[in-house]
Amino acid sequence: MGFIEAKKEILFSAMKTDYKRFGKTELDSMGILFKQNFINSLSGYKSVNLVGTVNKDKIPNLAIFNSIFHVGSNPPLIGMLSRPAVVPRHTLLNIKDIGYYTLNHIKPHFFSRAHQTAAKYNDNQSEFDVVGLKHFFSDDFPAPYVHESSVKIGLQLVEEYTVKSNGTVLIIGEVVEVILPGKAILSDGLIDLGFTETITGSGLDTYYTTSKIARLSHPRIDKDLDIIG
């Protein structure tokens, strides 16, 4: 089978690096902060988004979340985890009170303001105002979007689970509104995350831009892959 990357291959065994093994004993004996950094970066890149909500007094709230993930396209569902120790609980309370929230992609020109939303502000302070991002309300949606974000997603809460092992709350929302640049949408529906300048993250504090390697054709057992974008 002919693979696209074959020519570039460097064998693992030829790499001049030392591999370390961590078993359960070594993982259990890691210091708490070391372990937090290590495990938070272990699962790879994260989808970082700003989550916009309002509380019962209609004060807008904005918080960065880094555990956002695709759940399904039909119905359109996106999941996120709320870990009380890392992000303010205000967001989770607001989502449960109001039933609606927004996800907003982060661009390089406001990544540090996005990061700053994780500081522990009081419930009566809008993180939009404190960090200097503008909120934007569409005509038909009760939660605030981030004006500066290229991709704005309005969600309705549909399911909630509590992870038994650590009490983390898993929220699943149905996408009911999307606002994004028309030019970012390719002819077959894929959103070009390069055009939208969407960034990604690692751990709790590290942010990255991306460069496309390639878009590949649908894999089939009897056909070589093609680069399609």
Quote the CA–CA distance of 92 and 63 in Å, as a whole number. 10
Query: Closest distance between its own copies and the C-beta of residue 182, in Å?
Result: 4
| Contact stretch for its own copies (CB under 8 A) within 54-62, 64-72, 90-98 | 64-72
What are the residues whose beta carbons fall under 8 Å from the beta carbon of 112, sequence distance 6 or more?
Answer: none
Tokens 């004060």, residue located: 59
> 4-23: which residues touch its own copies (CB under 8 A)?
4-5, 8-13, 15, 17-23
| Residue whose CB is less far from its own copies, 11 or 58 | 11
Residue from 98, 111, 137, 157 binding its own copies (CB under 8 A):
111
> 31-60: which residues touch its own copies (CB under 8 A)?
31-49
| Cβ atoms 169, 159 nearer than 8 A | no
Query: Closest distance between its own copies and the C-beta of residue 51, in Å?
Result: 12
Task: Provide the b/e sequence for 22-43 (b: ≥16 CB within 10 Å).
Answer: eeeeeeeeeeeeeeebeebbee
Residue from 55, 99, 123, 168 binding its own copies (CB under 8 A):
168
Structure tokens at 179: 């606002």
Strand, helix or coil for residue 10: coil
| Residue whose CB is less far from its own copies, 58 or 187 | 187
Query: Closest distance between its own copies and the C-beta of residue 132, in Å?
Result: 7
| Residue whose CB is less far from its own copies, 13 or 57 | 13
Query: Closest distance between its own copies and the C-beta of residue 66, in Å?
Result: 8
Q: Which long-range contacts (CB under 8 A, 24 or more apart) does 116-121 make?
A: 117/50, 117/62, 117/63, 117/64, 118/63, 118/64, 118/86, 118/87, 118/88, 120/88, 121/88
> 70-99: which residues touch its own copies (CB under 8 A)?
70-79, 81, 83
| Residue whose CB is less far from its own copies, 98 or 197 | 197
Number of residues this chain uses to bind its own copies (CB under 8 A): 135
> 179-218: which residues touch its own copies (CB under 8 A)?
179-183, 185-186, 188-191, 193, 198-200, 202-203, 205-218
Length of the chain: 229
- In degrees and rounded to multiples of 5, residue 49 shows phi and psi of -140, 155
> 127-146: which residues touch its own copies (CB under 8 A)?
130-132, 134, 138, 140
Structure tokens at 188: 């077959």
